[in-house]
């Protein structure tokens, strides 16, 4: 059973977070291992397994980025597959940003490091706008190849930008 089915919600990128949370609490109470203490061992183990599945599913569906990656997995196109190629212009811009960060670090120039963060913030804003458009469009039942590629590109760019931000915070 997939995570969306477990919570009885549509397999969409945009979900009702409140409904997810309510269903999570309901299922957590229903399958809490403490309710199985008087049952045979096999049944206790089943309660534990279901409780772990509920927690894992909630963690994945409760976060937009992990939910997006999970949808790609359900669509048969997981993010870890080969062929995940980012546009050349994006990679070139990221290389320029990385170089600016390295130069600023070597020089000990905090103003230059701060300036390197500005284009990262601009990219992040553009990515969030792209993601918000995708959120309104993507439904697993009708997902298109273009939507799959758009979602993959978003997730890959997001990872790239997160790594650059980590470099900036390590100084």
Does 64 score more than 90 pLDDT? yes
pLDDT > 90? residue 116: no
Q: What is the mean pLDDT of residues 85-96?
A: 90
Please report where in the chains the tokens 């553009």 appear, as a residue.
126
The pLDDT tens digits for 41-60 are: 888 888 899 999 999 999 99
In the CATH scheme, what is the code of domain 3-62?
A: 1.10.287.110
User: What pLDDT shows up at residue 114?
Assistant: 84
**pLDDT value at residue 170:** 62
CA distance 100 to 123: 16
122-133 residue pLDDT tens: 999 999 999 998
- Residue 171, judged by CB atoms within 10 A of its CB (0-12, 13-18, 19+), counts as exposed
Reply yes or no on whether the pLDDT at 171 is more than 60. Answer: no
pTM, to two decimals: 0.82
Instruction: Encode pLDDT of 8-46 as tens digits.
Output: 999 999 999 999 999 999 999 998 888 878 888 888 888
At residue 20, the pLDDT reads 96
Domain boundaries, the chain: 3-62, 88-169
């Amino acid at each position: 059973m997939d995570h969306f089915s477990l919570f009885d919600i549509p397999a969409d990128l945009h979900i009702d977070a409140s409904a997810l949370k309510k269903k999570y609490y309901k299922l957590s109470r229903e399958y809490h291992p403490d309710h199985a203490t008087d049952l045979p061992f096999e049944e206790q183990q089943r309660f534990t397994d279901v409780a772990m599945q509920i927690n894992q599913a909630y963690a994945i569906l409760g976060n937009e980025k992990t939910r997006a990656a999970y949808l790609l997995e359900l669509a048969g196109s997981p993010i870890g597959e080969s062929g995940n190629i980012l546009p050349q212009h994006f990679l070139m811009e990221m290389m320029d940003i990385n170089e600016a960060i390295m130069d600023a670090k070597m020089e000990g120039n905090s103003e230059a490091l701060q300036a390197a963060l500005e284009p990262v913030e601009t990219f992040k804003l553009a990515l969030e706008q792209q993601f918000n458009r995708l959120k309104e469009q993507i439904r697993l039942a009708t997902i298109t190849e273009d939507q799959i590629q758009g979602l993959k590109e978003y997730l890959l760019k997001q990872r790239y930008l997160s790594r650059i931000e980590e470099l900036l915070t390590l100084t």
